[in-house]
Structure 1
Amino acid sequence: MDDSDTVAIIAEDLESSDSSKVCFCFKVPQNKRSPPCSCPFSVTVEPVMFLSTFSIALQMPLYTQYLWDRISEDVGYNGTKGGGCNASTVQDPLQKEVETLTAHWSLYINLGGFVVGLIMVTLLGSWSDHAGRRLVLIIPSLGLAVQATVYLIVMYLKLPVFWFLIGRICSGLSGDFNAILAGCFAYVADTSARGSRTFRVAILEACLGLAGMFASIIGGQWRRAQGYINPFWLVLATNLATALYAYLFVPETVTPDPEAKLLSTRHHQAVYRLYASEAPQGRRTKLWLYTLCFFLVVSVHFGCSDLYVLYELSAPLCWGPELIGYGSAAKHLAYLTSLMGLRAMQCCLEDSWVALVGLTSNIVGLIVFSVANTTTLMFTGYGLCFLFMASTPVLRSKLSKLVDPSEQGALFASVACVEGLCSLVSNGVFNSLYPATLHFMKGFPFIFGAVILFIPAGIIGGLGCQEKKESRENREGSGIS
């Protein structure tokens, strides 16, 4: 058997009673399309995740700051350009207007992209079961490159901020970043054992954090030195490099069907059957409950992340681009600390309890953010969130383990669809809640997010106890027989 035709997966089965390592080898069918080049390192989709996240994390804070500056210029507010923003307890009416308009425009632009992306990511994710995973990595990367091009044109020509919506819709038509997430996680499900899947998923999510950390540090310093345009040229180049890498180096794990059609109702039907079927007994209930938990957790993540920059730009913090970059880097560093914490906790805790520890870290951090009125307190909140990403890889892994290998594409298509819905809902709720509560408590949206997280914590804890009981009964039944 030729090395290029063999995929070896060596994983430690964390769920088995012994600690032996099992090697799974399978022969890749000859009719699978191999990439033109072979990667010299033992990586597959990790660079795709890293590069895509780098481009997103680089542009998002800069994009929000650009909206703030353009809107400030339009209304005649220069509080962040002159002697710094007014840190007094009296709210500047112009600053409040800028905050409100920036939050609303961010909502409108993101809504346009996410509504389109919500439809496309479901098609692309399920389509990858038949057409192959590589296409679902390449197409969204090219769409993100088109979005970056539109943003550059807006900045060069100083077009109205409405044109940002055109760029977001172009990205949404290609599946947006959520389609890349779906393709990468489905790829990992194709090539991982059940026992190692949680950690493999956590590695991918750590790539999210590592890329975000670098992008945040670079973005803040670069914007301060050269403005907005040059960083967005790097965003464009990074997205093109992602598509090129996926085409050249990522091996295919699915036998492509030349007759597979993208625009087909079969993709939506596959997702419907996944959540409608009760076989095996109890699967449907667990799928819905874990999906609800995932929706709530990710919605809080997305919603609060959108507000950090606005919260830090305005009084009383009045952060500049450099501090905003460091703050965003601290937030993304939690992806790495969550990975290390997850690996350590798996030695003595089941996955459900690992997720509960992660949710506790998130809740405590959000409470601190809600009352942060100094730089020290804000960074304390970031520090307390050091395990906040330990819950999402557990939820992805539990969902993946509930379905058959042949259903992984449909599952992660639905998960990607849920992530798109999370973005849609969180942008609508949190970006509307922030300006509406400025007059009585600026940090109220963070308190709201912390309260919401108690719901998935209760569900995960309940299902964890039920699964432990079922496992004990199965072992006792086997002993009796």
Structure 2
Amino acid sequence: MGKHILVPVGRFRFDLNDITIEPVQFLYMFANFLFFPTFQALIFNKVCLQTHDADFCSELQNNETFKENHTSENHDITAETSHWILKTNIALTAPSFFMVTLFLGPLGDKIGRKIPVLLPCIGALFSFIACLLNAKFMTASLYYLLVGPLVNGFFGGYIAAIMASFSYVGHVSSPESKMMRLGIIEAMSFLSGTIGVFVSGVMLDKQGFIFIFATLIVVISLAIIYTIVWVENIRSHIQDAENVGCSAFLVKFFKDSFSCVVRQRESRVFSSLVLLVISINMVMLCTTGDMDIALLYLKENLNFSQTLFGYFKGLDNFLRGITLITVLPLVKRFTSIRDLPLVLVGFISFAVNFVVLGVASTQWMVFLAAVLGMLKGVPSAGIRAMMSSMVSQDEQGRLFGIVAASESIITLIASVLFNELYPATVHIFPGLCYMLGAGLILLMFLLILYLHCTLPSDMPQMSYQTVVEDPQLQISDSDIPSSLTAEA
């Protein structure tokens, strides 16, 4: 909004104009965290109803004695559910990759940042409507489960929403406020995740699928309305001099994104940047694999109800979020510890979390794993900060564009790996997937340790500067206000 709206808070005055897409991020992430376990449970129910009646499926989920007496049927249904989770992930991830790499970034650069923020919300709305219809007609074909993820994928999906949020905040933030404002965006994800997964089990047990999907439709509709009414369509003052066609422009953006990673750089920046990109993708692989199998693993082996699973994931998200919001800033402020040692500590916490989950024989051990893994969010934050410091201001979007695209591929690989491995090894050792994840994390620990030992402590970092928008380049009153600055 062009006009400042000041709200007195004690001795301070808070400008509502400083609120941009933070509410969108909160609502979108809350909806997704509430959606994911609910969608997995919906798939389980629909798979069960393909071969059994409603009474059998209800008893299988709510009666532990009945479940123990039908172990074989439960395993078959769980395995088929895992395969359908994989199919829905493919339907979401494949189009998301092309959306992020070829369309979303160029669209934001050409016509403004508002549309890329809006599109993933619209895709999520169609996805929730499709799931509501699937819940209404439970005995319909399982292939209808693919409709929502496909539509959501063509609108960019989860990764596009994250990329659009960071691009928007990075555009309107000064160098001095960038870390704080990006931290607030991260905090929105943690807070919404804590609430979303915490209430998902309770809502599903008490209200059912249709109520949850209707709630999701309302939540994401609020995000869409807020974006349309409040969010500014900010644009960069740097425009392409060459007027090329749409296809040529998309090809150019695709090439520029990859050239950002592979271009030659001074010192050991290039090799370090590549290793960091590999590391962040391995973090995504383990995180996605955990999300895919956690509900099935805990229900089948430790008798977790949907409500108890929600409590566990809520605690897990809360501890990870509170660590990044409070502990990490305090450590950075009062110590001189560099980023890479903190990443190493985070990897140790991540690996211990997976090992305890893999060997857990009681429910309390699962909650202990959440406490021991409270630092597992540090590696992602630290690695992204290191990558960002190694490239110039005008390469930030291209770098995180290619990182987002690679993460979408890794998400698909993780779904294939964990959803195929878990059903195949559950009779041998149910926690084998978590042991595999711990092994990958330890490999990344060794890789980061190598970087910590070989990178010079005085390695040069890119400088940043704020370029004030030329008033003559302001597009309209609906564009970025003159009081804000845009990044070069």
TM over 0.5: yes
Query: In structure 1, what residue type is equivalent to 2:26?
Result: F
Which digits, 9 at most, give the CA deviation of each residue in 1:139-175, with x for residues without a partner? 1110111111111111112222211111111011111
CA distance in 2, matches of 1:232, 1:41: 32
Cα drift, residue 430 of structure 1: 0.8
Query: In structure 2, what residue type is equivalent to 1:131?
Result: I
CA distance in 1, matches of 2:408, 2:229: 28
CA contact 1:182–1:415 (8 Å) conserved in 2: no
Distance change >3 Å, CA 373–CA 278, structure 1 → 2: same
Identify the residue that residue 204 of structure 1 maps to in structure 2.
185
**Deviating more after overlay: 277-286 vs 302-311:** 277-286
The answer on 1:239 being equivalent to 2:225 is no
Cα drift, residue 243 of structure 1: 2.5
Cα drift, residue 271 of structure 1: 0.7
CA distance in 1, matches of 2:3, 2:314: 40
The answer on 1:64 being equivalent to 2:40 is yes
Identify the residue that residue 147 of structure 1 maps to in structure 2.
127
Aligned-residue CA RMSD (Å): 2.6
| Unaligned 5+ runs, structure 1 | 7-37, 473-481
Q: TM-score, normalised by structure 1?
A: 0.84
1:322 aligned to which of 307, 310, 315: 307
CA contact 1:201–1:396 (8 Å) conserved in 2: no
Aligned ranges 1:46-57 → 2 under 5 Å: 46-57=22-33
CA distance in 2, matches of 1:209, 1:170: 26
CA distance in 2, matches of 1:243, 1:197: 25
CA contact 2:60–2:74 (8 Å) conserved in 1: no
Cα drift, residue 378 of structure 1: 0.8
CA distance in 2, matches of 1:427, 1:338: 28
2:137 aligned to which of 153, 157, 172: 157
CA contact 1:155–1:229 (8 Å) conserved in 2: yes
Identify the residue that residue 31 of structure 1 maps to in structure 2.
none
| Unaligned 5+ runs, structure 2 | 5-13, 461-488
1:222 aligned to which of 203, 220, 223: 203
Larger proportion of helix: 2
Identify the residue that residue 403 of structure 1 maps to in structure 2.
391
Cα drift, residue 81 of structure 1: 3.8
Distance change >3 Å, CA 200–CA 387, structure 1 → 2: farther
The answer on 1:356 being equivalent to 2:356 is no
Aligned ranges 1:304-453 → 2 under 5 Å: 304-315=290-301, 317-339=302-324, 340-347=326-333, 348=335, 349-453=337-441
Matched residue count: 437
Counterpart of 1:441 in 2: which secondary structure?
coil
Counterpart of 1:241 in 2: which secondary structure?
helix
Distance change >3 Å, CA 172–CA 82, structure 1 → 2: closer
CA distance in 2, matches of 1:260, 1:138: 25
Query: In structure 1, what residue type is equivalent to 2:289?
Result: G
CA distance in 1, matches of 2:388, 2:174: 11
Counterpart of 2:374 in 1: which secondary structure?
coil
Counterpart of 1:373 in 2: which secondary structure?
coil
CA distance in 1, matches of 2:15, 2:146: 37
CA contact 1:208–1:335 (8 Å) conserved in 2: no
Identity, % of aligned positions: 23
**Deviating more after overlay: 290-299 vs 304-313:** 304-313
Identify the residue that residue 476 of structure 2 maps to in structure 1.
none
Which digits, 9 at most, give the CA deviation of each residue in 1:336-394, with x for residues without a partner? 22312221221322111121121111111111000112111111111111111111112
Q: TM-score, normalised by structure 2?
A: 0.83
Identify the residue that residue 481 of structure 2 maps to in structure 1.
none
Which digits, 9 at most, give the CA deviation of each residue in 1:15-47, with x for residues without a partner? xxxxxxxxxxxxxxxxxxxxxxx9826432322
CA contact 1:297–1:453 (8 Å) conserved in 2: yes
Which digits, 9 at most, give the CA deviation of each residue in 1:161-203, with x for residues without a partner? 2111111110111111110111112234334566775565444
CA distance in 2, matches of 1:57, 1:463: 34
Identify the residue that residue 93 of structure 2 maps to in structure 1.
114
CA contact 1:206–1:335 (8 Å) conserved in 2: no
